[in-house]
């Protein structure tokens, strides 16, 4: 950072002039504590630096893409090699075939692969393929689940028409009766059931899938000749070296992938079983950069590391150390955390903090000491995070808890930037 | 290429197993002559090499992204510099602000910018913003115009529901009466008019915009407080260093960009005027890789080259040399070409070739001599194409015309892979 120039504040001011609201989308800090930086100048391994040069251990991993660490050498070497050949050409590179084969070899249910750019591309494509399968219309999904930001899925109403969701039927995640009811409502018009492998919504506790729910989803799709779609965009390869439900013995017909599959390079994918192959050829789906070779080369290298390294065991180990450490630490300061979901994708909320005042104050205390935690979104543990990083994190969070113990009595809640959300939830953080 | 292995045929066979149909989307060669390669191993400047090592002068430019040449040094240097810092981080880099400022400084109507990945993202976002503007539903567009591959726009019916297009009203491009009628049909529910800057559809002659049509679109949007959306995804910065209608004196409220704005790196954008800023903040729109810093750094370097180099004049010069040369050459062989659209985005069809048998045979003759032309899609001239490349092209196309003169009497048409399209058009190539 040159001299004392408050570069970050200047950037925010400039951004307000040329970007609506100063920023938009999931990386907007509008609903985060005011001290959270909007712009980052650098990232490496498990760390990042904001535009004023402040260093953070990053527990967001770019909201998911960073699986092995920012700038992970083996993936970047594959990128270098492919860049020297070509990227966005008049057709795909041979690497597209290599990647499709690697995906099919890695994910048990998959017999084929199609690549795209956004997670939303993959989930939207899955809906079209499911509808093309038997020419039916109804898709059953879990209420309040994030499946992307297209008109059919985006969580805010601005610009969305009722017709965009005309044939979506909502059930409750992990509730077999509710799923059966939704399928009954679809009648003979059921195209598919689309669910995330576990429940990972903002502002809410996470929930692992109930075996009965997962099996019932599969059974209902079989019974009605509909397609089971697993939306792995956020969780893919974070829980398993296969679909997240593989160990449950439940295989989907279609699975949607994105985020981490190329360790930060822009790529998403729809994988499918033989049963869905014909339907996958019916819709016309494409994008200017869907066939670019460089992100595919990054994905081939990422998949190789997924198969050959102990990244999964390591992220579970560091994630467990973080969870256990925080739980004890919170108790020692008189607080109670509810940490939910897989340890490598933790959601960390305070018990008895329905208006998030404790959570917001605590992450601010951690942030000012160089630990970037999120107050309402699940986090991610990357394989570059070391046990020493976790120890450093816990040293800093201990200080943040001490601050919180001192400041809690004076806190007014909810934080104004999330007051409307908190009011709408009315304490329901199930 | 190692030894005599027919690598390309092997790739095609492997692809058929792990990719539905062997390939999909706009870069699928399923409707091209059988000799056209599906996979490319390398690209540089204005040339590319297929998986068997055959070299081509490429007139498709990756279907648009390649503006200055594959691997253009100044853009790649910016990519190198940003990659050393960070790409897909937990927030955007400062380069996002720099790029938004550069876009606003370059495009006259734009007061703000939002970035995304696919052209489809930008056009879909434009529809949501237009609908959010006054809470209205109807969008007027030109029939048979390609605006992307989402359910509301994709040209094939597979998986698409009538509701996906419930509030779209179609007019005829360049037909003022038809535009007025469509706006009248929208009544007090008109959200916007969405058009391409010129008519560039596959299998059809291209048409430059009529001034009366463009002015009327602007006037109708003003009269009804609706938003005029210019879809520049394919044509952006190919015709002007601003919106393509700038020289007509017609400015949109929203413009959609993609393809060439980062010279092949994955980025698209929605630009807007002050009038649309508030509406742009209403929908929730985002994507995992929309805020990645590397493609933005590429776009900043691309915009600099757009403003500071004579790329536009050069592509017009080489495009003119190609058009003039082909026209004379065709005549000398007893054929008549109809070459339409801007010379730097040429559509080259044969007169009296409604079933495309002449066009298909001619591009095959050129392809086997190392010239990659397209039989039904508009092409692109990149700034790396030299006058020597055009001379080399014309030498080869002359031989292709000679072959065609010899073979034409025996040709049966239409080519089987486009027979259905040709039948559906019934000779209408307007």
Average pLDDT over all residues of chain A: 97
* Position B28 in a domain: yes
Region for residue B234 given its phi and psi (left: phi exceeds 0; alpha: psi -120 to 50; beta: otherwise): alpha
Q: Is residue A387 part of a domain?
A: yes
> How far is B177 from B183, CA to CA, in rounded Å?
10
Q: Would an 8 Å CB–CB cutoff place A264 in contact with chain B? A: yes
Q: Is residue A68 part of a domain?
A: no
CB contact under 8 A, B96 and A268: no
Shared domain check, B408 and B396: yes
Q: Is A77 on the interface with B (CB under 8 A)?
A: no
* Contact A328/B at CB under 8 A: no
Interatomic CA distance for residues B116 and A15, integer angstroms: 16
8 Å CB contact between B256 and B233: yes
Q: Is A386 on the interface with B (CB under 8 A)?
A: no
What distances in angstroms separate CA A278 from CA A217, B158, B424, one per listed residue? Answer: 22, 11, 23
Q: Distance (Å, rounded) from C-alpha A273 to C-alpha A253?
A: 5
* Domain-embedded: residue A116: yes
Cα end-to-end span (Å), chain A: 43
**Domain closes at, from B250, B274, B308:** B308
**For chain A, percent of residues with pLDDT exceeding 70:** 98
Whether B11 and A94 lie within 8 Å, measured CB to CB: yes
For the segment B135-144, what is each residue's pLDDT rounded down to a tens digit?
999 999 999 9
For residue B2, is it within any domain? no
The CATH code of the domain that includes B122 is 3.40.640.10
> Does residue B305 register a pLDDT over 60?
yes
User: Per-residue pLDDT for B29 more than 50?
Assistant: yes
What is the predicted pLDDT for the residue at A1? 41
**Nearest chain B residue to A372, by CA:** B90
Which CATH number do you get for residue B322? 3.90.1150.10
What is the share, in percent, of chain B residues with pLDDT greater than 90?
A: 96
Q: Is A23 on the interface with B (CB under 8 A)?
A: yes
A303 with A410, same domain: the answer is no
pLDDT band at A430 (very low <50, low <70, confident <90, very high): confident
Contacts of B258 in chain A (CB under 8 A): 288
**Once rounded to an integer, what is the mean pLDDT over residues B236-260?**
98
Report which DSSP code applies to B246.
Answer: G
Helix (H), strand (E) at residue A106: helix A95-106
Q: Verify that A91 and A12 share a domain, yes or no.
A: no
Same domain, A172 and A276: yes
Q: What is the per-residue pLDDT for B338?
A: 98
Q: What is the mean pLDDT of residues A107-124?
A: 98
CB atoms B27 and A291 under 8 Å: yes
Helix axes B7-18, A95-106, angle to 10 degrees: 40
In the predicted model, what is the mean pLDDT of residues B304-308? Answer: 98
Strands (E), A244-311: 254-257, 268-272
Nearest CB neighbour to A14, from listed B61, B97, B278: B97
Q: Is A19 in contact with B104 (CB distance < 8 Å)?
A: no
Omega of the bond prior to B414 within 30 degrees of 0, cis? yes
CA distance A91 to B39: 5
Examine the fold and report which residue of A246, A279, A308 is the final residue of a domain before the chain moves on: A308
Say if CB B107 and CB B334 are below 8 A apart.
no
| DSSP per position, B286-351 | --TTTT-HHHHHHHHHHHHHHHHS-HHHHHHHHHHHHHHHHHHHHHHTT--EEEES-TTS-EEEET
From chain A, pick out residues whose CB is under 8 angstroms from the CB of B118. 117-118, 121, 287-290
Cβ-proximal residues to B101 (8 Å cutoff; 6+ apart), any chain = A14, A18
Give contacts of B151 with chain A, Cβ < 8 Å: 124, 127-128, 152
| Shared-domain flag, residues A342 and A298 | no
For the segment B189-228, what is each residue's pLDDT rounded down to a tens digit? 999 999 999 999 999 999 999 999 999 999 999 999 999 9
The last residue of one of the domains, among B263, B282, B308, is: B308
C-beta atoms of B289 and A117 within 8 A: yes
Check B100 against A70: CB less than 8 A apart.
Answer: no
> What is the pLDDT confidence band of residue B38, given thresholds at 50, 70 and 90?
very high
Please answer whether residues A235 and A197 qualify as being in contact, where contact means their C-beta atoms are separated by less than 8 angstroms: yes
Asked whether residue B258 falls in the same domain as residue B331, the answer is no
User: Rounded CA gap, A95 and B398, in Å?
Assistant: 35
Residues in chain A, how many?
Answer: 430
CB atoms within 10 A of CB B328: 11
Q: Is residue A2 part of a domain?
A: no
Chain B residues in contact with A127 (beta carbon < 8 A): 151, 159
Rounded to whole angstroms, the Cα distance separating A377 from B124 reads 26
Query: What residues contact residue B419 under an 8 Å CB cut-off, 6+ apart?
Result: none
Asked whether the beta carbons of A112 and B19 are under 8 A apart, the reply is yes
Flag whether residue B151 sits within 8 Å of chain A, measured between CB atoms: yes
The CB density around residue B55, as the number of other CB atoms within 10 Å, is 13
Four-CA torsion B265, B270, B274, B280, nearest 10 degrees: -130
The C-alpha atoms of residue B205 and residue A99 are separated, in whole angstroms, by: 38
Contact B88 A62 (CB under 8 A): yes
pLDDT at B250: 98
What b/e sequence results for B378-399 when a residue is b if at least 16 CB atoms lie within 10 Å of its CB, and e otherwise? bbbbbbbbeeebbeebbebbbe
Total length of chain B: 430
Give pLDDT tens digits for A151-195: 999 999 999 999 999 999 999 999 999 999 999 999 999 999 999
Residue A430 domain-assigned (yes or no): no
CA distances from A208 to A193, A213, A252, A369, A373 (A): 18, 11, 17, 32, 22
- Residue B201 and residue B262 in one domain: yes
Residue A376 corresponds to which tokens in the numbers above? 């309402």
Residue with tokens 């002015």: B215
Asked if A163 lies within 8 A of B158 by C-beta distance, the reply is no
Are A52 and A157 within one domain?
no
Write down the pLDDT at residue B429: 77
| Structure confidence at residue A15 (pLDDT) | 98
Distance of alpha carbon B132 from the chain centroid: 27
Identify the pLDDT of residue A2: 44
Q: Is B335 within a domain?
A: yes
**B128/A151 touch (CB, cutoff 8 Å), yes or no:** yes
> CA A111, CA B335: separation in Å to the nearest integer?
48
Domain count, chain A: 2
Which residues, at least 6 apart from B373, have a Cβ–Cβ distance to it below 8 Å?
B59, B348, B362, B363, B366, B367, B379, B397
**Residue A331, C-beta contacts closer than 8 angstroms, at least 6 positions apart:** none
| B370 shares a domain with B230 | no
Instruction: Note whether B185 and B282 are same-domain residues.
Output: yes
What is the domain extent for residue A164?
Answer: 73-308
Residue B64's SS3 state is: coil
**CA triplet A130, A136, A140: central angle to 5 degrees?**
65
The whole-angstrom separation of Cα A66 and Cα A101 is: 23
B3 pLDDT more than 60: no
H/E stretch holding A83: helix A73-83
Task: Report the DSSP beta bridge partners of residue A169.
Answer: A140
The H helix count followed by the E strand count for chain B is 12, 13
Nearest to A301 by CA among A117, A44, A68: A68
- Residues B157 and B221 placed together within one structural domain of the fold: yes
**Position of tokens 């609903």?**
A31
Residue owning tokens 């790529």: A267
pLDDT of the residue at A3: 46
Instruction: Tell me the β-bridge partners of B113.
Output: B271
Q: Which residue has tokens 């993936």?
A: A75
Percent of chain A's residues with pLDDT above 90:
96
pLDDT per residue as tens digits for the range B326-359: 999 999 999 999 999 999 999 999 999 999 999 9
Task: List helix spans (H) across B19-173.
Answer: 73-83, 95-106, 119-134
Give the model confidence (pLDDT) of A227-279 as tens digits. Answer: 999 999 999 999 999 999 999 999 999 999 999 999 999 999 999 999 999 99
Percent of chain B scoring above 70 in pLDDT: 99
Q: Which phi and psi angles does A197 have, rounded to 5°? A: -70, -25
**DSSP β-bridge partners for residue A77:** none
Q: How far apart are CA A280 and CA A296, in angstroms?
A: 20
Q: How far apart are CA B177 and CA A53, in angstroms?
A: 59
Distances (CA, A) of B19 to A83, A101, A112: 23, 9, 5
- H/E segment holding residue A218: helix A211-224
Residues B182 and B282 in one domain: yes
Helices (H), strands (E): how many in chain A? Answer: 12, 13
């Amino acid at each position: 950072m040159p001299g004392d120039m408050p570069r970050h504040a200047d950037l925010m001011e400039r951004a307000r002039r040329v970007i609506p609201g100063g920023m938009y989308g999931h990386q907007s800090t509008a609903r985060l504590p005011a001290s959270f930086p909007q712009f980052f100048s650098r990232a490496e391994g498990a760390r990042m630096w904001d535009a004023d040069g402040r260093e953070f251990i990053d527990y967001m991993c770019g909201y998911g893409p960073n699986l092995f660490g920012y700038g992970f050498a083996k993936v970047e070497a594959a990128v270098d090699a492919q860049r020297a050949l070509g990227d966005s050409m008049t057709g795909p590179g041979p690497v597209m075939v290599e990647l499709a084969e690697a995906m099919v070899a890695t994910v048990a249910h998959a017999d084929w692969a199609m690549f795209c750019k956004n997670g939303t591309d993959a989930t939207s494509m899955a809906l079209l393929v499911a509808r093309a399968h038997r020419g039916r219309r109804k898709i059953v999904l879990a209420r309040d689940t994030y499946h992307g930001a297209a008109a059919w899925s985006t969580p805010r109403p601005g610009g969305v028409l009722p017709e965009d969701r005309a044939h979506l039927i909502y059930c409750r995640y992990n509730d077999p009766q509710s799923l059966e009811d939704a399928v009954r409502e679809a009648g003979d018009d059921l195209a598919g059931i689309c669910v995330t492998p576990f429940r990972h919504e903002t502002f809410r506790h996470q929930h692992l899938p109930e075996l009965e729910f997962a099996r019932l989803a599969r059974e209902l799709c079989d019974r009605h000749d509909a397609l089971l779609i697993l939306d792995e965009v956020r969780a893919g390869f974070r829980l398993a070296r296969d679909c997240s439900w593989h160990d449950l013995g439940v295989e989907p017909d279609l699975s949607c992938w994105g985020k981490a599959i190329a360790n930060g390079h822009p790529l998403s994918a729809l994988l499918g079983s033989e049963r869905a192959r014909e339907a996958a050829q019916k819709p016309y789906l494409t994008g200017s950069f869907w066939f670019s070779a460089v992100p595919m080369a990054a994905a081939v290298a990422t998949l190789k590391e997924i198969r050959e390294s102990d990244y999964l065991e390591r992220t579970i180990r560091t994630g467990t150390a973080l969870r256990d450490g925080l739980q004890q630490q919170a108790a020692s300061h008189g607080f109670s955390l509810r940490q939910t979901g897989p340890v490598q994708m933790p959601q960390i909320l305070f018990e008895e903090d329905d208006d998030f005042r404790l959570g917001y104050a605590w992450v601010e205390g951690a942030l000012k000491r160089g630990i970037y935690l999120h107050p309402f979104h699940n986090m991610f543990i990357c394989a570059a995070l070391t046990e020493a990083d976790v120890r450093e994190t816990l040293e800093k969070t201990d200080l943040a808890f001490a601050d919180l113990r001192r400041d809690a009595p004076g806190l007014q809640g909810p934080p104004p930037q999330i007051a409307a959300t908190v009011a709408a939830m009315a304490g329901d953080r199930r």
